[in-house]
Amino acid sequence: MASKKTFSYTWWGKKWIQALESFGWANRLERGRRYARQGKVIDLNIEKGKITAFVSGTRSTPYRVSIKVQKFRKSQWNAIIKFLSSKALYAAQLLSGTMPEDIQYVFEEAGINILPQDE
């Protein structure tokens, strides 16, 4: 029997999953977790603006699943950098590999949502 595996250890990872579940994708996400636990995710590729996986599910041949995310425009990055440069704590946490829990509000002030949004 497959062991239970946590698919998110960070606050922002959990928020991503909550956002995806809010789109009515709970059943698909649960099936994806089950496939991952069973080793049926053949390949996972993360690129700028796109996450793609090949899955060997119930179909006769493996299939591709992808999630597209909007890339930030240069003007958006400039707004974020300007704000972060005035907040040493945010910069220090990001440089140490930690995403501050309230950083999503920094992005929102720049007109950017870092969590998935249903189209």
Model pLDDT for residues 2-58, shown as the tens digit of each residue: 456 677 888 888 888 888 888 888 888 899 889 999 999 999 999 988 999 999 988
Type and span of the H or E element at 74: helix 74-85
Please give the Cα distance from 51 to 68 (Å, whole number): 6
CA dihedral 52, 99, 84, 74 (to 10 degrees): 0
> What is residue 49's DSSP assignment?
T
Q: What is the mean pLDDT of residues 92-101?
A: 88
Is pTM beyond 0.85? Reply is no
pLDDT at 1 exceeding the cut of 50: no
Please give the pLDDT value at position 53.
94
- Considering only residues 86 and 42, tell me which one the structure prediction assigns the higher pLDDT: 42
